[in-house]
């Protein structure tokens, strides 16, 4: 049945004829999948980095087969040109599914166009004859490694550098520390930001550590890892070609990369650690970032919301689905591939984008209110901790409790007018916030 108002062409697959929109470069198998699996809508489509990765796989495979004498040069060149267009994003509209056959049909039809043939004719480039069965796991690896290497890691490095710069800038600002949401002993604002920078550095190192396994390709394993219908050395050669094409060190791993996706779970785990770190940093910095936020309350005049910080706290969650996906599948094939790569790329994109925004719109513009920081630090009753070595813990506790109960200062509560534990001169000598931000020097 032809769609009203939409010109179609008739194509066929193993199940018989089916109508495909004339404007579409996909074919019968993709069209049948669209009709059989109307699940999730456009929002559930596979991320475009997988499309780009498929283009790399098909391009390198075509070049290999031409060099090996298994594919006519004119057909190979047409496939390579179509793959280059796919990699560049020129064919994005033709991927409603992003399956292996969706890619094969689009590339074959585009190659047929380039050769002056009729779209849908499957001649002279056939979507199945010029296909490989282990492409999707390879595309997963390429897409994930590429996005981590070229998108997430640079954004993390920029954030780490910005936090490190602020740590140096704020090295002399002494503030009151906080634990259990209450005042604690002093530290410098620089020390606080140095801790944030270290969290990001560690998170980035975890991502880098996950890359080598993620760069192991299933190509050459075909159905179950044995390499049936390939020739000896194909897996190694195609991995080398993909490494050359992408600039990333891909290598073959036929059996494990087909049957399991532990590398995906490991990479997701690294992203989860990073997401936890960013959540902590965002919550800690939310009050500082108010000064750089442009988000105003829509109902409360003058209220500014820490939206850049809030964006960093909304990334965790994908890891649970990836963990479940990694544990599934049976024997030589894990079939949860679409779930895993979709969620991994989602986490990668969210983390990369939110880190870039956070660096630009929050960290880079932070200017601490030094007078207010000093006021809060000097009025904190937790400065009493500096008295411990001089009057003992019990007396220091009495001073703090008295000051808190009466709403006075430590010197008023513990000095001559209060408990009489010290003189004003002793208090000034013993309680020096700048000396409380590190260990005492050795004598």
- DSSP structure string for 192-259: HHHHHHHHHHHHHHHHHHHHHHHTEE-TT-TTTSS-TTS-TTHHHHHHHHHHHHHSS--EE-HHHHHH
CB 360 within 8 A of CB 386: no
CB atoms inside a 10 Å sphere around CB 246 = 19
Pairing status of strand 16-21 against strand 8-13: antiparallel
Angstrom distance (rounded) from CA 118 to CA 113: 7
**What Rg, from alpha-carbon coordinates, does the chain have?**
31
C-alpha dihedral sign at 91, 94, 100, 104: negative
CB atoms inside a 10 Å sphere around CB 9 = 17
Residues tagged active-site = 180, 297
Closest CA to 206 of 260, 112, 145, 269: 269
Closest CA to 205 of 264, 152, 142: 152
Classify 319 as helix, strand or coil.
helix
């Amino acid at each position: 049945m032809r769609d009203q108002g939409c010109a179609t062409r008739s194509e066929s697959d193993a199940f018989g004829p089916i109508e495909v929109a004339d404007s579409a470069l996909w074919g019968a198998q993709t069209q049948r999948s669209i009709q059989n699996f109307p699940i999730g809508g456009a929002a559930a489509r596979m991320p475009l980095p997988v499309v780009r990765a498929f283009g790399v796989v098909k391009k390198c495979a075509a070049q290999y087969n031409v060099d090996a004498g298994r594919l006519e040069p004119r057909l190979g060149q047409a496939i390579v040109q179509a793959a280059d267009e796919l990699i560049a994003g020129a064919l994005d509209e033709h991927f409603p599914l992003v399956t292996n056959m969706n890619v094969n049909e689009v590339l074959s039809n585009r190659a047929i166009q380039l050769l002056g043939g009729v779209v849908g004719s499957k001649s002279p480039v056939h979507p199945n004859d010029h296909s490989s069965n282990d492409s999707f796991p390879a595309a997963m690896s390429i897409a994930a490694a590429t996005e981590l290497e070229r998108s997430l890691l640079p954004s993390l490095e920029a954030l780490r550098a910005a936090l490190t710069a602020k740590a140096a800038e704020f090295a002399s600002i002494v503030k009151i520390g906080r634990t259990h949401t209450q005042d604690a002993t002093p530290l410098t604002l620089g020390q606080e930001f140095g801790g944030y920078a270290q969290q990001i550095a560690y998170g980035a190192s975890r991502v880098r550590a996950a890359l080598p396994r993620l760069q192991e390709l299933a190509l050459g394993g075909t159905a179950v890892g044995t390499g049936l219908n390939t020739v000896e050395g194909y897996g190694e050669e195609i991995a080398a070609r993909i490494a050359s094409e992408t600039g990333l060190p891909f290598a073959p791993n036929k059996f494990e990369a087909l049957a399991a996706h532990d590398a995906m779970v490991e990479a997701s785990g690294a992203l989860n650690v990073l997401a936890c770190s960013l959540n902590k940093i965002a919550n800690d910095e939310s009050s500082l970032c108010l000064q750089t936020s442009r988000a105003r309350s829509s109902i409360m005049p003058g209220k500014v919301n820490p939206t850049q910080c809030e964006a960093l706290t909304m990334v965790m969650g994908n890891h649970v689905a990836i963990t479940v996906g990694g544990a599934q599948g049976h024997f030589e094939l894990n079939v949860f591939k679409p779930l895993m790569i979709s969620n991994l790329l989602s986490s990668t994109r969210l983390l990369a984008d939110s880190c870039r925004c956070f660096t630009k719109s929050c960290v880079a513009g932070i200017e601490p209110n030094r007078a207010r920081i000093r006021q809060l630090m000097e009025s904190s009753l937790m400065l009493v901790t500096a008295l411990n070595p001089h009057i003992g813990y019990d007396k220091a506790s009495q001073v703090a409790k008295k000051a808190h109960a009466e709403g006075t200062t430590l010197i008023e509560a513990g000095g001559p007018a209060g408990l009489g534990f010290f003189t004003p001169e002793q208090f000034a000598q013993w309680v020096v916030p700048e000396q409380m931000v590190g260990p005492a020097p050795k004598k």
